[in-house]
């Protein structure tokens, strides 16, 4: 049996106001998958960095919400709007490399490590 997506995984990255109504901005970070043999697993976006999610309360944990996949939804509630993920480099488009940084001369040259 084939693997299939059960839920989209998303984190809240902000809020905005539209027509006087407060709405949430979400970023899709992966999916809950069915392995076809009765098991489930999470598939996370390789570029997702939990440290980059806003944390105004200073909590040590992160809330990841689950939503029905977009193709299975009839109408998304206003608070579940999805933001398109940023374009990421593909294997054909390598990520630009930063120039190497020059290290200052070490004054303790006799340190053995």
Is the pLDDT at 39 greater than 50, yes or no?
yes
Q: What is the pLDDT of residues 83-107, one digit of tens each?
A: 444 555 555 656 566 666 665 565 5
On whether residue 94 sits in a domain, the answer given is no
On whether residue 65 sits in a domain, the answer given is yes
On whether residue 91 sits in a domain, the answer given is no
Q: What angle do CA 72, 85, 56 make, to 5 degrees?
A: 105
- Rg over CA atoms, the chain: 21
- Cα(53)–Cα(9) distance, rounded to whole angstroms? 14
**Average pLDDT in the chain:** 78
pLDDT value at residue 56: 86
How far apart, in Å, are the Cα atoms of 37 and each of 10, 30, 31, 83?
A: 25, 20, 17, 32
Q: Which residues contact 13 (CB under 8 A, 6 or more apart)?
A: 25, 26, 27, 53, 54, 83
Compute how many other C-beta atoms are within 10 angstroms of the C-beta atom of residue 26: 20
On whether residue 106 sits in a domain, the answer given is no
On whether residue 95 sits in a domain, the answer given is no
Range of the domain at 50: 4-73
Is the pLDDT at 30 greater than 60, yes or no?
yes
Question: What is the reported pTM?
Answer: 0.59
Is the pLDDT at 110 greater than 90, yes or no?
no
């Amino acid at each position: 049996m084939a693997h299939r997506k059960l839920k989209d995984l998303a984190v809240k990255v902000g809020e905005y106001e539209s027509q006087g109504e407060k709405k949430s901005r979400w970023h899709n970070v992966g999916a809950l998958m069915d392995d076809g043999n009765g098991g489930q697993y999470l598939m996370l976006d390789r570029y997702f960095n939990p440290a980059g999610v806003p944390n105004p309360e200073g909590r040590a944990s992160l809330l990841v919400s689950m939503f029905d996949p977009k193709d299975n939804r009839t109408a998304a509630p206003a608070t579940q709007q999805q933001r398109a993920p940023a374009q990421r480099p593909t294997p054909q488009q390598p990520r630009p490399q930063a120039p190497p940084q020059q290290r200052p001369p070490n004054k303790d040259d006799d340190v053995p490590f």
